């Protein structure tokens, strides 16, 4: 039985209201702005200057999902050359003048529908991405809706923006409800659908854009992109349709014991080899607090079709996915973007491209890329690991073999590295504009690509924010223990380029362990992880769900992840 829905929460721009160009409003607002800041240029120059600052801000906030206050917006982005204290003092006034260049109007049915839903017993609320702390309260007051709206979460006041699930969870808890008893009505799949699904909301309905049918009307914050692989519970043309979907409010179930929710993805590495059906991985993960998931390189086409795409958000895809062949098989046959055989390299390249296309179709934020490996005799690497496990890490035999291994790798790396560079150049062109980030992962084996200097070369291929470093904690730990690369060299050199992080522990040299089961110092790692990095727990199938839950508490206590 589905949980009863007793609360309806709404987006604002594009859902409750739209905006229209207005020449007179624009002229009046820009004139007042010009006088207020003593601008010496023309109105057009002023508008272009402020629009550039706003675009820089929007680029940053979409990447980090951090929403600035009006004070920070205007002092740091819009008027960085003005006195900071003055900008802070006048920020709300400046912001409203800037926003008042357009006429904002409620859709005609909004007031009647909201009053009817409230009369039918539903608790109503708002969750909105906005740079204004005053517009929505004024809108509700002007339209006599303040008494009907029981909770208002505005990103500029909250500090986060959709699709971060914390806004949705906060709204539900403030209403004294569990997220599954709340429905969300918005218009943007990437913000509204993804955010509500991560928070565990009930049904999500999206209002269709109609701006292409009325040239004089714009939605305030147009949908960034569709998610063909993830659909809402329904699409509506008008809010009046909600009266049929939600005719009367069932009894309020009240607030049950609060379950944890973590700002973290769960890799399907854990689920693909479980006895339970693959689809149950997602239900189990959600129950212990994961807000999203990563599809790993063991997910076959049949497994990909086995789970509910519409209700579990895939934040990251680890190529090759879907996997037409086993990962070990691909490695043994040198089907990699580092291959010196162009046919095999192109085959691997096509697999990565399919992973990127899958990520785009699911609304995922990033794809994890393995850049391949050197083809040569790798027995030295295995011998070193055997010596390490035998306690011979600092023996003369170990040191001699370590130096031999380093020298041998240097002899073979260059042609493979050139193939990786060529492959990544193709992938960068293929990915640009897709909305998907690419993360180049540090690897577990010494003959794998890249080492730190090679990572620097690869990252220099593209300095756009969506191309960067995928930090794997266990891989860095293993190579550090073996004496090849200090763990923290990766973080010192590439932490600011971090797209995502794979979190797991290492016992001896065995990685993909539950945090707390090995020797990784997560508290030391935590300060290096930027706020926008996609965090994923990547552990093997041996762990029980109870152990996983304890591992989440270890990561939370260390500061590596946040409990929402």
pTM: 0.94
In a domain, 490, yes or no: yes
In a domain, 294, yes or no: yes
- Residue pLDDT, tens place only, 152-187: 999 999 999 999 999 999 999 999 999 999 999 999
Does residue 25 have a pLDDT over 70? yes
Does residue 221 have a pLDDT over 60? no
320 & 359 share domain: yes
Three-state DSSP at 67 gives: coil
Give the residue carrying structure tokens 């040191």.
399
Distance of alpha carbon 48 from alpha carbon 54, whole angstroms: 10
Q: Provide the domain limits for residue 71.
A: 23-100
Average pLDDT over all residues of the chain: 94
- Residue pLDDT, tens place only, 110-141: 999 999 999 999 999 999 999 999 999 999 99
Helices marked H in 432-537 — which ranges? 452-459, 473-482, 487-494, 522-525
211 & 338 share domain: no
Q: What is the pLDDT of residue 217?
A: 44
In a domain, 483, yes or no: yes
498 & 539 share domain: yes
In a domain, 252, yes or no: no
Does residue 212 have a pLDDT over 50? no
Please give the share of the chain, as a percent, with pLDDT higher than 90.
91
396 & 527 share domain: yes
Strands 7-10 and 123-128: parallel
In a domain, 193, yes or no: yes
Which has the higher per-residue pLDDT, 255 or 294? Answer: 294
* Banded model confidence at residue 216, pLDDT cuts 50, 70, 90: very low
Q: What is the pLDDT of residue 344?
A: 96
Please say whether the beta carbons of 188 and 223 come within 8 A: yes
Mean of pLDDT values over 105-114 = 96
- The packing angle between helices 342-362 and 396-431, to 10°, is 60
**Both structure tokens of 552:** 């989440």
49 CA to centre of own chain: 30
Q: What is the pLDDT of residue 257?
A: 67
Please, which residues bridge with residue 469 across strands?
Answer: 440, 498
In a domain, 256, yes or no: no
Distance of alpha carbon 76 from alpha carbon 88, whole angstroms: 10
Q: What is the pLDDT of residue 61?
A: 95
289 & 164 share domain: no
Total tally of structural domains belonging to the chain: 3
Assign residue 164 the CATH number of its domain.
Answer: 3.40.50.1000
- Residue pLDDT, tens place only, 539-563: 999 999 999 999 999 999 999 999 9
- Residue pLDDT, tens place only, 382-410: 999 999 999 999 999 999 999 999 999 99
In a domain, 42, yes or no: yes
**Residue at which a domain ends, from 52, 74, 100:** 100
**Both structure tokens of 110:** 């909004």
Please work out, in degrees rounded to the nearest 5, the angle formed at the alpha carbon of residue 452 by the alpha carbons of 448 and 453.
105
Does residue 530 have a pLDDT over 80? yes
391 burial via Cβ count (<10 Å: 0-12, 13-18, 19+):
exposed
109 & 96 share domain: no
453 & 497 share domain: yes
395 & 536 share domain: yes
194 & 52 share domain: no
14 CA to centre of own chain: 23
Q: What is the pLDDT of residue 215?
A: 42
Does residue 213 have a pLDDT over 50? no
513 & 550 share domain: yes
In a domain, 257, yes or no: no
Does residue 95 have a pLDDT over 80? yes
Please say whether the beta carbons of 247 and 8 come within 8 A: no
């Amino acid at each position: 039985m589905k949980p009863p829905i007793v609360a309806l929460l709404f987006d604002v721009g594009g859902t409750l209201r739209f905006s229209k160009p207005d020449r007179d409003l624009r002229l009046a607002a820009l004139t007042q702005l010009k006088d207020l800041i003593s601008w010496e240029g023309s109105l057009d120059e002023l508008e272009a200057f402020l629009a550039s600052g706003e675009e820089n801000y929007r680029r940053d906030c979409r990447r980090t999902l951090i929403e600035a206050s009006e004070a920070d917006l205007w002092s740091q982005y819009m008027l960085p050359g003005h006195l900071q204290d003055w900008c802070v003092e006048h920020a709300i006034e400046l912001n409203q003048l800037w926003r008042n260049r357009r006429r904002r109007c409620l859709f005609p049915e909004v007031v009647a529908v909201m009053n009817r839903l409230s009369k039918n017993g539903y608790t109503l609320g708002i969750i909105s991405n906005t740079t204004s702390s005053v517009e929505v309260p004024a809108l509700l007051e002007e339209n006599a809706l303040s008494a009907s709206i029981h909770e208002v979460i505005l990103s500029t006041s909250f500090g986060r923006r959709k699709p971060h699930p914390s806004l949705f969870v906060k709204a539900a808890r403030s209403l004294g409800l569990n997220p599954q008893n709340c429905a969300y009505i918005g218009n943007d799949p990437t913000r509204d659908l993804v955010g509500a699904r991560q928070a565990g909301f009930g049904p999500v309905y999206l209002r269709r854009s109609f701006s292409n049918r009325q040239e004089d009307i714009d939605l305030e914050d147009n949908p960034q992109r569709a998610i063909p692989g993830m659909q809402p519970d329904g699409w509506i043309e008008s809010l009046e349709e909600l009266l049929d979907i939600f005719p009367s409010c069932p009894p309020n179930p009240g607030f049950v014991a609060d379950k944890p929710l973590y700002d973290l993805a769960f890799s399907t590495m854990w689920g693909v080899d479980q006895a339970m059906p693959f689809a149950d991985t997602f239900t189990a993960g959600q129950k212990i607090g994961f807000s999203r998931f990563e599809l790993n390189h063991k997910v076959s086409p049949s497994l990909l079709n086995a789970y509910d795409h519409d209700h579990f958000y895939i934040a990251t895809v680890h190529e090759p996915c879907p996997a037409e062949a086993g990962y070990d098989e691909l490695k043994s046959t040198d089907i990699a973007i580092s291959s010196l055989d162009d046919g095999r390299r192109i085959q691997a390249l096509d697999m990565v491209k399919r992973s990127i296309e899958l990520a785009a179709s699911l609304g995922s934020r990033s794809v994890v890329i393995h850049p391949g490996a050197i083809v040569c005799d790798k027995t030295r690497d295995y011998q070193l690991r055997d010596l390490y496990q035998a306690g011979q890490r600092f023996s003369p035999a170990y040191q001699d073999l370590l130096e031999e291994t380093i020298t041998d790798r240097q002899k073979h790396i260059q042609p493979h590295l050139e193939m990786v560079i060529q492959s990544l150049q193709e992938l960068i062109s293929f990915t640009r504009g897709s909305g998907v980030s690419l993360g180049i992962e540090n690897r577990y084996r010494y003959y794998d690509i890249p080492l730190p200097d090679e990572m620097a070369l690869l990252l220099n291929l593209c300095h756009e924010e969506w191309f960067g470093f995928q930090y794997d904690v266990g891989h860095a730990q293993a190579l550090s223990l073996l004496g090849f690369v200090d763990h923290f060299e990766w973080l010192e050199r590439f932490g600011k380029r971090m797209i995502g992080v794979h979190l797991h522990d290492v016992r001896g040299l065995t990685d993909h362990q539950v945090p707390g089961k090995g020797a990784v110092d997560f508290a030391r790692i935590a300060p290096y992880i930027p706020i926008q990095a996609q965090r994923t727990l990547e552990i093997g199938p041996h762990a029980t769900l109870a152990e996983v839950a304890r591992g989440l508490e270890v990561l939370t206590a260390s500061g590596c992840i946040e409990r929402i």
